[in-house]
Amino acid sequence: MAEGQGRLVAISNRVGPLNDEGKAGGLAVGLSDALKRRGGLWFGWSGETSEKGTFCELKTEVQDHVSMTTIDMSAEELEGFYFGYSNRSLWPLLHYRLDLAEFDRQSDRIYRSVNQRFASRVMPLLEEDDLVWVHDYHFFYLGSELRQCGFKGRIGYFLHIPFCPPEIFSALPASHDIVRALLAYDVIGFQTDTDRRNFVAFCIRELGGEKLSGQRVRVGDRTVVARAFPIGIDAQGYARFAVSPEAGEHEEMLHDLTRVRTSNPDADGDAWRKLIVGVDRMDYSKGLLERFRGFERLLEDYPENRGSAQFLQVAPLSRSELDAYVELRRELEEMAGHINGRFATLDWTPLQIMTRGFTRRALAGIYRAARVCLVTPLRDGMNLVAKEFVAAQDAEDPGVLVLSRFAGARAELEAGCIIVNPYNTDDVAGALQRALNMPLEERQRRWEIMREAVFSGTAAHWCDSFIDALARGADFDEPEASE
Ligand code: ADP
Ligand code: G6P
């Protein structure tokens, strides 16, 4: 904890783990990297349901100076709050997918009541000078509920996912209520400046607010700081994972798969197989179908890659109770079968999709074995996979990052990666071809640029700059990034 600053209390739906267990999700990874270093209290959902739901007993586990306190939800709360409002309404909407968003007043009611309940359960644990930091789209109302409970200290909020333009957000029946509730926070953080600008535009156009100097916005009598704080990873820690024995085993296993000369007569004489990897929760925002089409186009248009390009997609199942995710899984498996059926030979299967989780060390080994990492979301708040891939490479023979123009990570990595439009199949195929054939010297030059960004914009830096802004509150005054 920095001197003179109060204890940090983080509140999010998912809590932990702080160890190296496989856990798919950028929030849990970024926040545990930051909290491990600082210590504090982490409050949220236990991941369990019980009859008493949010009225249940608190459970506490202490690890690395972090006290993780959780509560259960009832089955009805889980359905209305998590599956319903958070993931059927807010997630698609904020990812610009109005076509997938569903709105109903029952889940709206439960979402608000769970926010209220979490606030009333955490309130007795708070001390006057705590810095409270609420995370993500599950808890838009939590800050204003804490104010209702009488908490007078600083409360910050960070949105891990995109904030869509006001033309889209205003379709949400409760859009005004949500943004008014957000104004109860002292500092509102976004992943990118685009997200921040969308939020400010909503305040101005829909609520009659005004933009003030120093990244502040005023609506009625409330003035809040709204600023971008791009999240990062513990880059040094991740680079150490990448040279661990567990990473080494995984890297070796994949090298054995690729240390095969291709039998394709169109390929370069002595070509070894080259590994392309993708690592994403199985989510429609990640652009997996479009990515598979891009790989298929690579094999169609650049036939020298048949037999020599090997695509491994790691895609742990996520939110599998929801129809949109069930449908996505079906389509992906169908498309993988189609591509393999069309191009496979007796000694080569072009595309492999795996839904299992890995430890962070094992994943680091997978990244390290890859010549190319494909990160092509249709929309993503930040995307930590892109940063992990960079941190896991070695200077001698680094891989190439192909990154979507719609990922938040673009702002920091674009000078070193190949940027693509994930909707443009030819563009994805062309980028893959370029990445697979990029000379070593260019790969090294590009990687150095990205490495610098990933090692300076870490989870610790993210956390410290947010806490610093929160501690300064209304005194925060910083020039706006250029538009
Ligand atoms: P999101 O938060 O939308 O899932 P991010 O790319 O920001 O996307 O974060 C995903 C995190 O989940 C990364 O830290 C990544 O390493 C981790 N992850 C993804 N797939 C797996 C897996 N199969 N096993 C373990 N961790 C995974
Ligand atoms: C994204 C969200 C997180 C969420 C994670 C995994 O990273 O920003 O809030 O925890 O996805 O999704 P899940 O629904 O399993 O928590």
How do residues 253-284 score in pLDDT, each as one tens digit? Answer: 999 888 877 767 776 655 679 999 999 999 99
Does residue 196 fall inside a structural domain?
A: yes
Outline where DSSP puts E strands in 384-468.
400-404, 418-420
Does residue 265 fall inside a structural domain?
A: yes
Distance (Å, whole) CA 357 – CA 219: 44
Instruction: Tell me, yes or no, whether 62 and 37 share the same domain.
Output: yes
Residues facing residue 100 across a β-bridge: none
Q: Is 419 helix (H, G, I), strand (E, B) or coil?
A: strand
Kindly tell me the burial class for residue 57, based on how many C-beta atoms sit within 10 Å of its own C-beta (0-12, 13-18, 19 or more). Answer: exposed
Instruction: Tell me, yes or no, whether 134 and 270 share the same domain.
Output: no
Least distant ligand from the CA of 47? 2
User: What one-letter code names the amino acid at 413?
Assistant: L
Instruction: Tell me, yes or no, whether 202 and 258 share the same domain.
Output: no
Q: Which of 51, 58, 59, 104 is nearest to 78 (CA)?
A: 51
Atom from ligand 2 closest to the CA of residue 24:
6
List strands edge to edge, sheet with 372-375: 351-354, 309-314, 274-279, 372-375, 400-404, 418-420
User: Model confidence at 209, in pLDDT bands (50, 70, 90)?
Assistant: very high
Q: Which region among 55-59, 88-92, 270-274, 401-405 has the lowest average model confidence (pLDDT)?
A: 270-274
Q: Ligand 2: does its nearest atom lie under 6 Å from the Cβ of 30?
A: no
What pLDDT does residue 30 have? Answer: 78
pLDDT tens profile 328-346 = 999 999 999 999 999 999 9
Q: Is the pLDDT of residue 383 over 60?
A: yes
Site of tokens 């109770």: 321
Q: Which of 478, 51, 23, 409 is nearest to 231 (CA)?
A: 409
Does residue 483 fall inside a structural domain?
A: no
Does residue 349 fall inside a structural domain?
A: yes
Instruction: Tell me the ipTM for this assembly.
Output: 0.99
Structural domain boundaries enclosing 178: 8-232+460-474
Instruction: Tell me, yes or no, whether 220 and 265 share the same domain.
Output: no
Question: Which of 14, 15, 93 is the best mutation target for the ligand 2 pocket, counting ligand atoms within 8 Å of the beta carbon and taking the most?
Answer: 14
197 CA from centroid of ligand 2 (Å): 23
Atom from ligand 1 closest to the CA of residue 318:
4
Give the DSSP per-residue string, 58-98: -EEEEETTEEEEEEEE-HHHIIIIIIIIIIIIIHHHHTT-T
354 CA from centroid of ligand 2 (Å): 19
Q: Global pTM? A: 0.96
User: Model confidence at 483, in pLDDT bands (50, 70, 90)?
Assistant: very low
Helix pair 193-207, 175-182: axis angle to 10 deg: 110
Q: What is the mean predicted confidence (pLDDT) over 371-391?
A: 98
Instruction: Tell me, yes or no, whether 278 and 226 share the same domain.
Output: no
- Cα-only R_g, the chain: 23
Q: What is the mean predicted confidence (pLDDT) over 53-65?
A: 92
Q: Is the pLDDT of residue 321 over 90?
A: yes
Q: Is the pLDDT of residue 59 over 90?
A: yes
User: What one-letter code names the amino acid at 406?
Assistant: F
Does residue 123 fall inside a structural domain?
A: yes
46 CA from centroid of ligand 2 (Å): 14
Distance (Å, whole) CA 72 – CA 224: 32
Residue identifier of the C-alpha nearest atom 19 of ligand 1: 24
Kindly list the distances between the CA atom of residue 399 and the CA atoms of 84, 362, 371, 392, in Å, as whole numbers in the listed order.
40, 17, 4, 10
Atom from ligand 1 closest to the CA of residue 388:
16
Does residue 480 fall inside a structural domain?
A: no
Question: Which of 23, 94, 318 is the best mutation target for the ligand 1 pocket, counting ligand atoms within 8 Å of the beta carbon and taking the most?
Answer: 23
- Check 135, 138, 160, 250 and give the catalytic one: 160
Least distant ligand from the CA of 283? 1
The number of domains in the chain is 2
Q: Is the pLDDT of residue 1 over 60?
A: no
Distance (Å, whole) CA 457 – CA 451: 10
User: Is cis: bond before 230, omega within 30 of 0?
Assistant: no
Instruction: Tell me, yes or no, whether 79 and 185 share the same domain.
Output: yes
Does residue 325 fall inside a structural domain?
A: yes
Instruction: Tell me, yes or no, whether 184 and 312 share the same domain.
Output: no
User: What one-letter code names the amino acid at 261?
Assistant: R
Q: Is 297 helix (H, G, I), strand (E, B) or coil?
A: helix
Least distant ligand from the CA of 383? 1
Q: Is the pLDDT of residue 29 over 90?
A: no
Average pLDDT, the chain: 94
Does residue 380 carry a catalytic annotation? yes
- Among residues of the chain, what percentage have pLDDT more than 90? 86
Residue identifier of the C-alpha nearest atom 12 of ligand 2: 25
Residue 75 sits at the vertex; the CA angle it makes with 71 and 76, to the nearest 5 degrees, is: 105
User: What one-letter code names the amino acid at 342?
Assistant: R
Instruction: Tell me, yes or no, whether 226 and 273 share the same domain.
Output: no
Token readout for 331 is 């389509």
Residue identifier of the C-alpha nearest atom 25 of ligand 1: 22
Instruction: Tell me, yes or no, whether 298 and 226 share the same domain.
Output: no
Instruction: Tell me, yes or no, whether 216 and 270 share the same domain.
Output: no
309 CA from centroid of ligand 1 (Å): 24
Least distant ligand from the CA of 373? 1
Does residue 45 fall inside a structural domain?
A: yes
476 CA from centroid of ligand 1 (Å): 33
DSSP character at residue 55? G
Please give the helix or strand (H or E) that residue 8 lies within, else none. strand 8-12
What pLDDT does residue 26 have? Answer: 74
Instruction: Tell me, yes or no, whether 95 and 203 share the same domain.
Output: yes
Query: Are the CB atoms for 27 and 160 separated by under 8 Å?
Result: yes
Q: Within 6 Å (CB) of ligand 1, which residues are found?
A: 22-26, 29, 279, 281, 314, 316, 357-358, 363, 382-385, 388
Instruction: Tell me, yes or no, whether 175 and 109 share the same domain.
Output: yes
Least distant ligand from the CA of 382? 1
Question: Which of 21, 29, 94, 367 is the best mutation target for the ligand 1 pocket, counting ligand atoms within 8 Å of the beta carbon and taking the most?
Answer: 29
CATH of the domain at 57: 3.40.50.2000
Query: Are the CB atoms for 312 and 288 separated by under 8 Å?
Result: no
26 CA from centroid of ligand 2 (Å): 7
303 CA from centroid of ligand 1 (Å): 32
Kindly list the distances between the CA atom of residue 441 and the CA atoms of 255, 269, 312, 391, 395, in Å, as whole numbers in the listed order.
21, 21, 25, 18, 10
Q: Is the pLDDT of residue 32 over 90?
A: no
162 CA from centroid of ligand 2 (Å): 13
User: Model confidence at 124, in pLDDT bands (50, 70, 90)?
Assistant: very high
Question: Which of 280, 318, 321, 384 is the best mutation target for the ligand 2 pocket, counting ligand atoms within 8 Å of the beta carbon and taking the most?
Answer: 318
Say how many C-beta atoms besides its own lie within 10 A of residue 9's C-beta: 22
